A and B are shown apart, each in its own frame.
Chain A
Amino acid sequence: MIAAAVLNEWYPVAMAAMVGPWPGRATTLLGHDINVFSEGDKIIVRGAGGDLAVTLAYGHVWACPGTPAHDLFPVPEAAQPGRRLVDCGAVRVKCSPLRAVENFLDIAHFPFVHTDVLGAEPHTEVGRYEVQIREDSDEVWATKVHFYQPQAAKSAAGGIVTEYMYRVAASTSAVLYKTCPNNPDEWDVIGIFVQPLTEELCEVWPWMALFDDTTPQADLIQFQQMIFLQDRSILENQIPRLLPLDPGKEIPTQADLTSIAYRRWLKRKGLTYGAQMVAA
Chain B
Amino acid sequence: MKLYDYVLSASCYKIRLMAALMGVKLQTEAVDFHPGRAHRSADFRSLNPAGTLPVLVDGDLVLTESTAMLVYLARPEWLGQSAAEAAQVQQWLAFSARLGASLGMARLHDMLLYPGDIDAFRRAGVECLRELDAHLTEARFAGRTYLVGDTPTIADIACFPNVALAPDGGVGLDDYPSIRLWSRAIRALPGFIEMPGIHRLHELKPAPEAVPPLETLL
Contacts and interface: CB of A to CB of B under 8 A. Distances in A.
A218 B32 contact: yes
Nearest to A15: B35
A257 interface: no
Nearest to B198: A233
B124 interface: no
Contact of B35 (A89, A125, A216, A227): A89
Interface in B161-218: 167-168, 170, 194-197, 200, 202, 205, 208-211, 213-215, 217-218
Contacts of B111: 91-92, 229, 232
Contacts of A121: 202, 205, 208
Contact of B112 (A15, A92, A122, A230): A92
Nearest to A219: B30
Interface centre among B35, B111, B217 (most CB of A within 10 A): B35
A112 B202 CA distance: 8
B7 interface: yes
Nearest to A224: B7
A262 to B, nearest CB: 23
Nearest to A236: B167
Contacts of B6: 222
Interface string B147-173: 000000000000000000001101000
Decide if the interface of chain B is mainly helix, strand, loop or mixed. Answer: loop
B126 interface: no
A218 B31 contact: yes
Contacts of B35: 15, 18, 87-90, 221
A91 B7 CA distance: 14
Interface of B: 6-8, 30-32, 34-36, 38, 110-113, 167-168, 170, 194-197, 200, 202, 205, 208-211, 213-215, 217-218
The 9 closest A-B CB pairs, nearest first, are A89-B35, A122-B208, A229-B196, A218-B30, A218-B32, A222-B7, A230-B196, A219-B30, A127-B214
